[in-house]
Amino acid sequence: MTSVRRAAAILLASIYVVCLFPGWVAPFDYAHQFRDLVAAPPSARHPLGTDALGRDSLSRLIYASRVSLLLAPAAALLATAIAALLGGVAGYCGGGVETVAMKATDLVLSLPWLFVLLIARAWMPLSMLPWQTIGITFILLGSFGWAGAARVICAAAASLRSSDMLLHAKACGCPRWRLFAMHVLPNLRSILLAQFLILIPVFILTEGNLGVLGLGVGEPLPSWGNLLRELMNLPAVAERPWMLAPLAVFAMVTGCFYLLTSPGDYA
């Protein structure tokens, strides 16, 4: 591991520790309003100032990190599980199953992802409780983000199909489901882990886009997406540049994930 990757890993680990215990780290509750301090500049009490509703920006950023950084891996886990099942079965079975599954994957991959997510989000009720919007947002991400991973996993499973190990297990009379569960999937572990890690920053970015569009996590619960939505008030951003702090943290965390998953590129 290069020093840059090591630094990225340490930084991410520290941010995750903070996210796990926001109540201990954040100076205030994310919804607490200081009505005499609306849109206040940074101070010792409020290091990132307050937002337009007088809520402490640092506390909201910490709570938002919890939502985005804990649920993006959960969505990535769901997407990887779907990809493992679809891609793994397609690659393992081969023939018509593989052709149909890969055609479906190609179709999902070829459509703009945000467009598919918007259509799927429109299908669901728009006025929901904040915690329900969290679930919906990340379940949608997980349900539609599997295609790229499925393609890779299918290729890996197809290469295992004619391996000596599987031929031997088949010759010993091992049933097909057991072959898949006990011999194919465990051998795809490293690929599954890589796909899981690759999907996390993708989902963080997509949640950011959905949040800015007002289709992500609902207020007053903070997420990185709805913190970025505050940047739509451009005159206020020009006056109070510290409002860009969530975007800087967002870029830093996503960058750390990219550094960890594509070491050859930037490390």
Partner 1 sequence: MGPLLKPALHILATAVLGVLLAGALIRMAPGFGIDEREFDLRLNDDSVRRIRAEAGAGRSLWSFYVAYGRGLATGDLGTSRALGRPVSELLRERIPITLGAAGAGLLAAWTVALTLAMVCVHCRNAVVDAACGGFNALLLCLPAAALGLLTMLVSGQSGRAAIVAAAIALAVMPRLFRLTRGILAEAWSSPHVACAMARGISPVRLMLWHILAPSAGPLLALAGVSTTLAFGAAIPIEVVCDSPGVGQLVWQAALQRDFPLLVNLGLMVCLLVAGSNALAEAASGVVGSAGRGR
Name the site residues for partner 1 (rule: CB under 8 A).
107, 110-115, 118-126, 201, 205-206, 208-209, 212-215, 228, 231-232, 234, 237-238, 247, 250-252, 254-255, 258-259, 265-266
Minimum CB distance to partner 1, residue 144 (Å): 12
The helix (run of H) or strand (run of E) holding residue 182 is none
| 114 or 193: CB nearest partner 1 | 114
| 164 or 265: CB nearest partner 1 | 265
| 20 or 106: CB nearest partner 1 | 106
Beta-strand (E) ranges in the chain? Answer: none
Minimum CB distance to partner 1, residue 120 (Å): 8
| 110 or 190: CB nearest partner 1 | 110
Q: What are phi and psi of 56, to 5 degrees?
A: -65, 120
Minimum CB distance to partner 1, residue 228 (Å): 6
Q: Are 202 and 220 in contact (CB under 8 A)?
A: no
Minimum CB distance to partner 1, residue 82 (Å): 17
**Residue of 66, 64, 48, 11 whose CA lies nearest to 245:** 48
Minimum CB distance to partner 1, residue 118 (Å): 4
Cα 126 to Cα 161: distance, rounded to the nearest angstrom: 45
Minimum CB distance to partner 1, residue 240 (Å): 12
Tokens (6 digits) for 145: 């983000």
1-9's contacts with Cβ under 8 Å and 24+ in sequence apart are: 2/263, 2/267, 4/259, 4/266, 4/267, 5/259, 5/260, 5/263, 5/267, 8/255, 8/256, 8/259, 8/260, 9/256, 9/260
| 87 or 148: CB nearest partner 1 | 148
| 44 or 238: CB nearest partner 1 | 238
Helix (H, G, I), strand (E, B) or coil at 44: coil
| 118 or 174: CB nearest partner 1 | 118
Q: Are 248 and 224 in contact (CB under 8 A)?
A: no
Minimum CB distance to partner 1, residue 112 (Å): 3
DSSP letter for 109, please.
Answer: H
